[in-house]
Amino acid sequence: MHRFGGADKLFLSAELKKRYVNKHIHSQEEQRMKVNQWTLGLAAIGLVTMPGLVVAEEASQHLLTALSSTTISGFVDTSANWNVGTGNANAPGIPMQAGKQDGFNLNYVQVTIQKPLDAQDNWAAGYRVDLGYGADLATFGTVGGANSGIKQAYVALRAPVGNGLDFKMGVFDTIIGYETFERVNNPHYTHSYGWGMEPTSHTGLLASYQLTELVGVSAGVANTTAPLINNRGFNGTGLGTDHAESYKTYMGSLTLKAPESWGFIAGSALYVGVINGVGANSGNTATTTATQNYYVGTTLNTPWAGVKVGGAYDYSGNNGVNGTVRGTHRNAVSGYVSIKATEKLTLLERVEHYKDSTDKSGTATTGQPSRILAVTSTVQYDLWANVISRLEVRWDHQADGNGRAFGANSAGAADRRNALLVAANVIYKF
């Protein structure tokens, strides 16, 4: 409410007050018309010019039209970690958990500004920008180890080809994986070893096409498999050596969904994807040979309402460096169970087996045990609106029989084959 000052009370008549109130309850169109009349009066006495007036009016209308479908959303991701036992100098290589032992953490904050493609428009156009802050963004790698910046930013387009051919050009998330970087969309607080093997992001062009209601395909080309924005795969400007300037990363995927006639399996999905190119899945680490990433994942409905199961297989490997170093590879198999017990309570389980080959020196390529078994149990109970609240227990077990890889004794040397993590994860989404 506007509060009139003392001078206003003395000089504003009842009629003027009435006009003042009416001015603030007029529709937007009426206000625009009044502004036009006022500006026309200014133009008549030479204070403004008509060309400038017309341009300003058209610009404001164009801006309002362009922003009419833009949405803003995001989330704030926090956690509290407790690594059971003393001495955690040698922790399991769980993605995005380094430095989070035994304390409270601001994991990541993201604000998303986007205009989605209009489903009814054959020539639709839009965009998406994800702005982030937090230690997790440095692991994601689009900003070269920095804790703030752009995670994803692309222009989205649709061409009227068949059922509609959709494009993304710019920086977009990788096309493979059962899990996602953002915990707000992930089944668990911690991520799987399989997720840690996958590329996180690409700078390039991605095309997607829905062949039928049940079959979708995508194909793309990018600078590298590495996430660093605008990176290159040829010598002198980024990753890799001995590559031509035309060297690029290529990717493709296929999605199949079960039809309604398949009973309780209806709506289940099978996903297959492959990425081949130079790069690494975080930072700007030099890799001189092409790396192949293969992924197969599925989510299955069950006869029990609210119960879903899933599975994923990840493989990452290369053929060695110029024939002098033996090629390396990693693979991970993960199984998932989700039980929606009540409207607010969800129980989630993940079991995974990770296997890492050894390089020429006989050590694991990641500096971790060559085999790891991990079990993650998560209870999610949504007490507050727009809040995801989780309690998670994770057990990682060294399964290769080669000494001890976890924990630390008084001298700092690893002294355990098992690691236990208890974590609370609270996320507010808006």
Identity of the residue numbered 403: G
The topology under which CATH files domain 72-429 is Porin (2.40.160)
Beta bridge partners of residue 335, listed in sequence order = 311, 351
pLDDT (average), residues 233-256: 75
Q: What is the DSSP string of 18-66?
A: HHHHHHHHS-HHHHHHHHHHHHHHHHHTTSS-HHHHHHHHHHHHHHHHH
| pLDDT at residue 82 tops 60 | yes
75-84, 227-236, 274-283: lowest mean pLDDT where?
274-283
The string of pLDDT tens digits covering residues 20-29 is 445 444 444 4
204-208, 212-216, 227-231, 253-257: lowest mean pLDDT where?
227-231
Eight-class DSSP state of 118: P
Is residue 209 very low, low, confident or very high in pLDDT (cuts 50, 70, 90)?
A: very high
| pLDDT at residue 328 tops 50 | yes
223-232, 260-269, 285-294: lowest mean pLDDT where?
285-294
Torsion angle, alpha carbons of 216, 219, 224, 228, to 10? -50
390 φ, ψ to 5°? -130, 150
Please report, for the chain, the start and end positions of each structural domain, with discontinuous segments joined by +.
6-59, 72-429
Identity of the residue numbered 353: H
C-alpha–C-alpha distance, residues 255 and 215, integer Å:
6
How high does pLDDT run on average in the chain? 84
pLDDT (average), residues 412-417: 88
Which residue's structure tokens are 């081949």? 276
Query: Other C-beta atoms within 10 Å of 342: how many?
Result: 9
- Measured in whole angstroms, the distance separating CA 325 from the mean position of its chain's CA atoms is 34
Which residue's structure tokens are 């989605």? 116
78 φ, ψ to 5°? -130, 160
Which residue's structure tokens are 């504003």? 12
**What's the confidence (pLDDT) of residue 239?**
46
Identity of the residue numbered 405: A
The string of pLDDT tens digits covering residues 37-78 is 545 554 555 544 555 555 555 655 655 656 678 999 999 999
| pLDDT at residue 396 tops 60 | yes
| pLDDT at residue 298 tops 60 | yes
Torsion angle, alpha carbons of 227, 229, 232, 233, to 10? 0
Contact 83, 61 (CB under 8 A): no
Predicted structure pTM score? 0.80
**What's the confidence (pLDDT) of residue 34?**
44
| Token pair of 354 as six digits | 């990770």
